[in-house]
Structure 1
Amino acid sequence: MDPIVNSVAYCGGRRVASLRLDEISQVLKQPDKFVWIGLHEPSKELLRQVQNQFNLHDLAIEDAFSAHQRPKLEAYGDTLFIVLRTAQMNKTEHHIDFGETHFFLGANFIVTVRHGSSLAYTEVRSHCENTPHLLSKGPGFALYAVMDSIVDQYFPVIEALEQELIAVEELIFDHKPSRETTQQIYMLKRELLDVKRAITPLIDICNRLMRFDIGLIPEDTRPYFRDVYDHSLRINEMLDNTRELVTAALEANFSLTSISQSEVSKKFAGWAAIIGVPTMVAGIYGMNFKFMPELNLPWAYPLVLATTFGLCIILYIFFRRSGWL
């Protein structure tokens, strides 16, 4: 797969040309145009070429190549470097696949670099090109469009995690508590924590992009980032609510496990008490006393047996009614 997904010049919100890397520097000199390049897991050599064309900072290029960065926003002179984590649910293996998208934003260019599991932004670009009156706002609107797409990808992930929580709750209350159920809850809690770590910094990033001290974002584009900010807050609240429910489910599972163990202990105690009666009688008659007058009576043996079994039956009925058996 070609690491250069798209390299396009826009003027007035409309696509005017597809560019080679060596043509970009000439287009950047034209103030009425801006360049939007999309890269997917580029090599270090390709990133160096992009760096030379856009005059990007060495540290930002190093981060964009190595990936595995925390979500952040950094300013390098007149260029912004933004890192976001992407997420999508792997329905085959039933876990979340995380990726990263890095942005280089300048006055007349935007470069997106995708790493790992991440949907292509072809549809985002097409949507922007179909609304030239919005894309004419420049690279800032392109940044918003991609960020909005990334945030929207989190909603199906949260919904899938909520469905997984419902399935776990059914296991807890409809089946006997098990070690597998506890393991599922912990795995769900870990996935929620991973999503939390990805989405929480995005709130601060959007907040900074809405502020007036970042001149690369035009004033008429900042309200769009408020929309991304609101969506991020909503996802964060959904995560907090789901995490609380998972914690409650874990506590319920532990409580039901303790109750189940208590029920087993009561059954053992009940049967031990019942078995203790014949054990006691047998122990008395096994002490071999020389004088035991009842041994000479013809009805003594059946009376002792009847009494023993009678006491066992009485204890069984008592424990049964008490819920111990």
Structure 2
Amino acid sequence: MSLVANAVYVDGKKRIDPDTLETTFELMRTSGGMGWIGLYRPSAEEISAVAAEFGLHPLAVEDATNGHQRAKLERYGETLFLVLRPARYLDVEEKVEFGELHLFIGHDFVVTIRHAESPDLGIVRRRLEADPELLGTGPQAVLYALLDQVVDEYEPVVLGLENDIDEIENELFGGAPDVSRRIYELHREVIQFQRATQPLQTMMESLLRGSEKYQLEAELSRNLRDVQDHVIRVVERVNTFRALLQNALTVHSTLVAQRQNEEMTRLTETSLSQGEEVKRISSWAAILFAPTLIASIYGMNFDVMPELHWAIGYPFALLLMLGMGVGLWWTFRRNDWL
């Protein structure tokens, strides 16, 4: 059963916890109290039953049934429809988990529809039930308390993301191999968090603008302004996180390019060094090849060779070997091969 909380309040005090929605509707009519219905991942039939009783707009009902909505505030006649995107930081996985909370706020009812574990609405109920004076102001008090709870639960997320960014900065200059993947994943989470928090600024402004028109209690207006201040601080820090991660991506790209340039420089220097060695070896090979060529020619076993019976043939061959060797050495030396 998706009905997780169900109560009727009169003058800020709980009258009864009905077992069914039908009982809740009957008690609301007979007592003139405020009904607060909490649903967790309800079926389409359960949402339709609530919609039929309170006359909820079909478009809002469709959004609440389908889920996966952006954070927003819409007014359908006397009914407010809000979509909030609560979040919580999972320490073990070091990730942010996003939820979805739908609120229908009427003149005598509050309907909450959760599509995730967060936020813990039981905390909100106990807090308001402990303050009958505040709860006695009606559904607006519940709206304030729900907004306050969602925004308060953003604080651990902000601290978790801040810690992750600090770790990334250390890994960035430490040369961690998977730092680029972590930066991209964290950047995606920050963007999702930004999409969840930024619309709250406009929503809070809209609620405060309508405080006089809908005769909101002065103390409740002050409480909403306090929530608005918290929202502004959260949004500013999230914007800072996104800027830091974008800078981290730029720095990482620069460091990778720098390492690649250093590697290319090292390879180039190695190649040049190897080239110099090859030139030296080739030069000495050529110098040694010249006398070897001459000696091999004169070492051939032919009977008829003009120089064999020449008196100065032997010293001439030696001088030729020496001359060619010195000539090649001088040529290579002049061209910086030796």
Once residues 258 and 105 of structure 1 are traced to their aligned partners in structure 2, the CA distance between those partners, rounded to angstroms, is: 55
Indicate the larger mover: 108-117 or 194-203.
Answer: 108-117
Query: Which TM-score applies when normalising by structure 1?
Result: 0.84
The answer to whether the aligner puts 1:186 opposite 2:184 as a matched pair is yes
CA distance in 1 between partners of 2:279 and 2:215 (Å): 89
Within 2, Cα distance between the matches of 1:45 and 1:81? 19
- Aligned positions, number: 299
Per-residue CA deviations over 1:86-128 (Å, capped at 9, x if unaligned) read: 1112334332211111111111111111012423311111011
Within 5 Å, which residues of 2 pair with 1:201-212? 201-212=199-210
Identical counterparts, % of pairs: 33
Distance in structure 2 (CA, Å) of the matches to 1:296 and 1:120 = 94
Question: Residue 158 of structure 1: CA displacement?
Answer: 1.5
The residue that corresponds to 1:70 in the other structure is 70
Whether the aligned pair in 2 keeps the contact of 1:88 and 1:157 (CA below 8 Å) is yes
Cα distance in structure 2, aligned partners of 1:102 and 1:166: 34
Whole-angstrom distance in 1 between the partners of 2:230 and 2:31 = 33
Correspondence for 1:82: 82
Q: Which residue of 2 aligns with 1:224?
A: 223
User: Which residue of structure 1 lines up, in the alignment, with residue 93 of structure 2?
Assistant: 93
Tell me the C-alpha RMSD between the 2 structures: 2.5
CA distance in 1, matches of 2:42, 2:323: 99
Residues 234-260 of structure 1: per-residue CA shift (max 9 Å, x gap): 111001111111122222212221222
User: AA paired with 1:138?
Assistant: G
Greater Cα radius of gyration, structure 1 or 2? 2
Relative distance call for 1:16 and 1:101 in structure 2 (3 A) is: same
> Cα offset for 1:152?
1.2
Shift of 1:230: 1.1
SS of equivalent to 2:39: strand
Unaligned runs of 5+ in 1: 312-325
Residue 85 of structure 1 aligns to which amino acid in structure 2?
R
Distance 1:267 1:53 in 2: 77
Distance 2:280 2:274 in 1: 10
In the alignment, the residues of structure 1 paired with residue 116 and residue 2 of structure 2 have an alpha-carbon distance, to the nearest angstrom, of: 13
| Cα shift readout 1:49-76 (whole Å, capped 9, x = no counterpart) | 1112212122211111111111111111
Structure 1 residues 225 and 21: alpha-carbon distance in aligned structure 2, compared to 1, 3 A threshold: same
Amino acid at match of 2:261: S
1:293 matched to 2:292? The reply is: no
Query: Residue by residue, what CA displacement relative to the aligned partner does 1:245-302 show, whole Å, maximum 9, x if unpaired?
Result: 11222222122212222222222222223222221122234445576637778xx9xx
User: C-alpha separation between the residues in 1 aligned to 2:321 and 2:122?
Assistant: 100
Assess, with a 3 A threshold, how the Cα gap between structure 1 residues 294 and 46 changes in structure 2: closer, same or farther: farther
Deviations along 1:167-201, whole A, 9 cap, x unmatched? 11111112x263x2111111111110000011111
Q: Distance in 2 between matches of 1:292 and 1:161?
A: 80
Whichever residue aligns with residue 107 of structure 1, its letter is H
- The whole-number CA distance in structure 1 between the counterparts of 2:63 and 2:222 is 29
Q: Counterpart in 2 of 1:198?
A: 196
Query: Aligned to 1:88, what secondary structure does the other structure show?
Result: strand
**Does structure 1 residue 249 correspond to structure 2 residue 248?**
yes
Look up the match of 2:305.
none
Counterparts of 1:112 and 1:45, CA distance in 2: 16
Shift of 1:160: 0.9
Distance change in 2, residues 1:102/1:285 (3 Å):
same
Give the conservation status (yes or no) of the 8 Å contact 2:3–2:38. yes
- Label 1:163 to 1:268 Cα distance change in 2 as closer, same or farther (>3 A): same
